[in-house]
């Protein structure tokens, strides 16, 4: 039993793309559960003319967002917004990492960055930025608004508002499933049903254990668990996509 890295989304993307080195079926893994989910946010400098995501849709000159490379959150999330709700983000690739991307925003060579909720609430420089109103969050993913970002719309809300077509919604489901999977614990195919059920129950028990939750709070961490049954359903849904969605995914992950 093991927990994949936070970039485990690349596994199912590779399978969808039909890469010959893939020798597994993501939908056939036995999912135990995940400790967290990884929703995304996109922040914008407050001194720009882009006060809301609606302003980005109307942009004459698109705001510039930072990214390390293709296939990263900083790259694919703004592109997904362009595809699904008609925003106009430009993406600058090539930054070595997060600190360099944030510095680019501070120096005003870029205006925005997309990354995870967890990173946004993790500490500096974001706490200081929030305190002095240097940046604002324009959009978040997730099935519901984070209670700490009650005024920030979700992508699902905006897709409903702008009547995003089914193809775009399917694309969003596939791309954002990486955050839904979080850091899952799973087993290979062929595990006896009874063993899987025992492990799922044990995992669910741990997620509700007061001592465990107290330790999580003490360490200033977050727990937002998913059940194995939920992840199993999601894995099957993600892989059951028509060719046109798969082509959209390939295009989105490229330049």
DSSP state of 144: S
The CA distance from 38 to 5, in Å, is 12
pLDDT in tens, 184-205: 999 999 999 999 999 999 999 9
The structure's pTM equals 0.82
- pLDDT value, residue 118: 84
pLDDT in tens, 99-115: 999 999 999 999 999 99
Q: If we measure between CA atoms, which residue out of 177, 225, 249 comes closest to residue 33? A: 225
The ranges of the chain annotated as CATH 3.40.190.10 are: 40-173
Mind giving me the DSSP string for 66-97?
A: E-SSTTSHHHHHHHHHHHHH----EEE----S
Are 207 and 12 spatial neighbours (Cβ–Cβ below 8 Å)?
A: no
Architecture of domain 40-173 in this structure: 3-Layer(aba) Sandwich (3.40)
- pLDDT value, residue 255: 58
Low-confidence ranges of the chain (pLDDT < 50): 1-7
């Amino acid at each position: 039993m093991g927990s994949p890295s936070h970039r485990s989304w690349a596994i199912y993307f590779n399978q969808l793309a039909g890469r010959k080195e893939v020798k597994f079926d993501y939908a056939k893994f036995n999912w135990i559960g995940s400790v967290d989910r990884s929703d995304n946010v996109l922040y914008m400098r407050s001194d720009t003319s882009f006060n809301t995501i609606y302003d980005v849709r109307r942009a004459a000159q698109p705001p510039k967002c930072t990214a390390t490379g293709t296939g990263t959150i900083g790259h694919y999330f703004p592109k997904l917004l362009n595809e699904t709700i008609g925003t106009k983000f430009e993406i600058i690739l090539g930054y070595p990492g997060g600190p360099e991307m944030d510095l680019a925003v501070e120096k005003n060579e870029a205006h925005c960055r997309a990354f995870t909720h967890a990173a946004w609430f993790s500490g500096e420089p974001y706490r200081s930025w929030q305190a002095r109103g240097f940046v604002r969050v324009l959009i978040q993913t997730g099935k519901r608004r984070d209670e700490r970002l009650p005024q920030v719309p979700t992508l699902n809300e905006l897709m409903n508002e702008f009547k995003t077509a089914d193809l775009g919604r399917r694309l969003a489901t596939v791309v954002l499933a990486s955050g839904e999977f979080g850091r899952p614990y799973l087993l290979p195919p062929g595990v006896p049903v009874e063993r899987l059920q025992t492990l799922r129950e044990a995992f669910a028990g741990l997620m509700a254990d007061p001592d465990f939750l107290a330790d999580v709070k003490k360490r200033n961490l977050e727990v937002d668990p998913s059940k194995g049954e939920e992840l199993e359903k999601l894995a099957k849904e993600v892989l059951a996509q028509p060719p046109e969605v798969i082509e959209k995914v390939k295009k989105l992950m490229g330049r």
